[in-house]
Amino acid sequence: MSAWKINTLMNQHFPESDFSKLALVNIEGKPEVLEAILKLSINSEELLISVNRKVGARLSLKDAVNFIQFSMGKAEMRVSNREFTQFVIAAPNCTAVGLN
C-alpha cells in the first residue's frame, strides 16, 4: 500500500481529536513507552503509519516503533490498524496517545 493511499484512508477514517483533552505521554528517547502505547491501543501486529501524503508505511510493531522514533518531531503521525478501528497519534512535540 502506497503512502498516498494510506494517507487518503487515514483522512477518511481517523477520528477528530481535541489535543487539549488528550493525556499525551512523552516518548522521546523511550521506545519501550511508545511500544507499550501501540500495544495497548492497537491490537494488531501490522500497523499503518501516515506522516503525510508522501511518507507512510505498513509495518510490523517493532519496525513501526523504529520508524516513529526516527521520524519524531517532523510531523504529526497517525497510526492505525488495517481496519481503521484503533488509533494512535504521535505528535510533533514527541508525545503520543492512543485514541479509544
Round the CA-based radius of gyration of the chain to a whole number and report it: 12
pLDDT of residue 69: 93
- How many other C-beta atoms can be found within 10 angstroms of the C-beta atom of residue 23? 7
Q: State what percent of residues in the chain have pLDDT above 70.
A: 100
- Classify burial at 39, counting beta carbons within 10 Å of its beta carbon; exposed 0-12, middle 13-18, buried 19 or more: middle
Question: What ranges in the chain are assigned the alpha helix state H?
Answer: 3-13, 31-41, 61-71
Residues 6+ apart with CB under 8 A from 91: 19, 24, 76, 97
| Total-model pTM | 0.91
| pLDDT-based confidence at residue 17 (cuts at 50, 70, 90) | confident
- From residue 32, alpha-carbon distances to 15, 21, 60, 66, 93 in Å are 25, 24, 15, 11, 18
- Residue pLDDT, tens place only, 34-77: 999 999 999 998 999 999 999 999 999 999 999 999 988 888 99
Query: How far is residue 10's CA from residue 62's CA, in Å, rounded to a whole number?
Result: 21
pLDDT, mean over the chain? 92
Q: Three-state SS for 35?
A: helix
pLDDT of residue 74: 85
Average pLDDT, integer, range 69-89:
93
Q: Above 80 in pLDDT, residue 27?
A: yes
